[in-house]
Structure 1
């Protein structure tokens, strides 16, 4: 009887000891890795952060932590760990440094990223420099980097194609568009691609101008009818010129932004 009592007590404390250890460093790392492999990046980042607070120095934990922060897109996570990491890692091993710089680029901390690329010399240095240039819209700097890369690194070729898409966009001249609308209302909008709005503008200005002409033809300069429609026509005419100028600039900006976002998406997908 006493023997069975002792065995039961030992089993109880054995299970209790196991229960108390599920939050130790080893279990935390394993659980974080499980969440990471399951693509639950925000929860994985929290578990990796817990492991780092426990004193973990494993480079793979740092790398997965930085990746999880970047992919989850949670800017408020990991601030204290990132601050401590920067304070204690003036020299950072390649691999870990690459992931940290990618995180900084994804958070658009370009000054920090550019400084660390020079300081840490990461594995994918040229790719990270190229990514930083493009994300900051420094296309001339990217071209200089690409032309100076004699091997034409494969990682840069995809970015090069995206930059060419941006720089080869055919922009319309706001001045030319406005000038066309001065001569013939609506044609400036047709020039930059808004045929429907341009045709409507032409009809409205022409219709009001015609009504004004009819009024003046019947009663001369004393025609209130003529002056009313003349004022309306002048208002639409002036507004059409201004709208053409603004519309051309909006069209150019929209096209450039579309190409930029394509390049940005390509870069982030290749991080």
Structure 2
């Protein structure tokens, strides 16, 4: 009598187990509404947002009419698009809740999400206008606080420090995020800044000193040296040949251009100094915001 080899037995038992598992899986109807939703939700939780959005949409299409949880599905689709950077599509779905589900528990959350999408698109003014049109109607303190926080963040991004501070101080109470945001806004308001007029005046009196005032010593000494050299050559030319000196006129005109450029450059240096300080501080705020915004 011939016996089956061990390898043949192992293959036989493996195929038997696979058949049993497949037979059990035949009982699952993957096209049922609840199974489509579970699959979409699983993709959402795993961070596969675009596929999740497609499955949530397939879930809605599986019904002949809108299911009772349509607003929450729209909300999840909107968040999927927001997390994947498709902000216009996200706004489209959040807006459906705003327009068609006025009694939804997600109504004011959708307002917040739309304002947040505009913010993430760097449309800070548009975000503020949108939030202003709804915040007064909100009667839930936690939602109103989030809307006002987002308004304040928009003000901060537009460097409207006074507006941000006023709004945050009126809402901070004991909320840690609002308190920290208010502190960052105060720091932004008190950043060291250089006066453009003063920088220009300094370089008018002594070339290059406006740039020294703006913490640009190399540029300042370069302007001083260049203007001094052209000034000396101009003086030397006119001193030797009088007003008919070609050398005097050439160096005088070029030197005058450098002198005016030194004044203008000092004004620009003050602007650059202020912008760099503000952008560095805004970068710090952006990191803090990205960690805390939902």
TM bucket normalised to smaller: 0.7 to 0.9
Is this contact kept in 2: 1:67–1:99, CA < 8 A? Answer: no
Aligned in 2, Cα 1:163/1:106: closer, same or farther, shift over 3 Å?
A: farther
- Please list every run of 5 or more consecutive structure 2 residues that lacks an aligned counterpart in the other structure: 1-21, 120-126
Q: What's the offset of the Cα at 1:232?
A: 0.8
CA distance in 2 between counterparts of 1:22 and 1:100 reads 34
Specify which of 150, 158, 161 is matched with residue 131 of structure 1: 150
- Give the TM-score taking structure 2 as reference length: 0.74
CA distance in 1 between counterparts of 2:285 and 2:99 reads 33
Residue 255 of structure 2 corresponds to residue 236 of structure 1: no
Residue 104 of structure 2 corresponds to residue 92 of structure 1: yes
Aligned in 2, Cα 1:185/1:51: closer, same or farther, shift over 3 Å?
A: farther
Partner of 2:282: 260
CA distance in 1 between counterparts of 2:170 and 2:267 reads 40
Aligned in 2, Cα 1:114/1:23: closer, same or farther, shift over 3 Å?
A: farther
Aligned in 2, Cα 1:169/1:155: closer, same or farther, shift over 3 Å?
A: same
Q: What's the offset of the Cα at 1:181?
A: 0.6
CA distance in 1 between counterparts of 2:32 and 2:219 reads 67
Partner of 2:137: 119
Q: For 1:1-271, list aligned pairs within 5 A.
A: 15=26, 21-52=29-60, 54=62, 55-56=66-67, 57=69, 61-78=73-90, 80-93=92-105, 97-98=108-109, 100-108=111-119, 109-122=127-140, 123-137=142-156, 138-149=160-171, 151-271=173-293
CA distance in 1 between counterparts of 2:87 and 2:70 reads 23
Indicate the SS of the match to 1:134: helix
| RMSD of aligned Cα (Å) | 2.9
CA distance in 2 between counterparts of 1:266 and 1:52 reads 37
Is this contact kept in 1: 2:40–2:55, CA < 8 A? Answer: yes
Q: What's the offset of the Cα at 1:183?
A: 0.8
Aligned in 2, Cα 1:214/1:28: closer, same or farther, shift over 3 Å?
A: farther
CA deviations 1:210-267 (Å, max 9, x no partner) are 2222222222222111111111110010111112112212321232233234324423
- Give the TM-score taking structure 1 as reference length: 0.80
CA distance in 2 between counterparts of 1:60 and 1:85 reads 9
Indicate the SS of the match to 1:136: helix
Partner of 1:5: none
- Give the length in aligned residue pairs: 256
Q: What's the offset of the Cα at 1:116?
A: 3.1
CA distance in 2 between counterparts of 1:77 and 1:27 reads 25
CA distance in 1 between counterparts of 2:31 and 2:234 reads 85
Partner of 1:3: none
CA distance in 2 between counterparts of 1:97 and 1:266 reads 24
CA deviations 1:125-183 (Å, max 9, x no partner) are 21330221231345434433443347332221121122122111111100000000101
Indicate the SS of the match to 1:77: helix
- More relative contact order in 1 or in 2 (CA 8 Å, sep 6+)? 1
CA distance in 2 between counterparts of 1:244 and 1:118 reads 46
Indicate the SS of the match to 1:102: helix
Is this contact kept in 2: 1:127–1:155, CA < 8 A? Answer: no
Is this contact kept in 2: 1:135–1:264, CA < 8 A? Answer: no
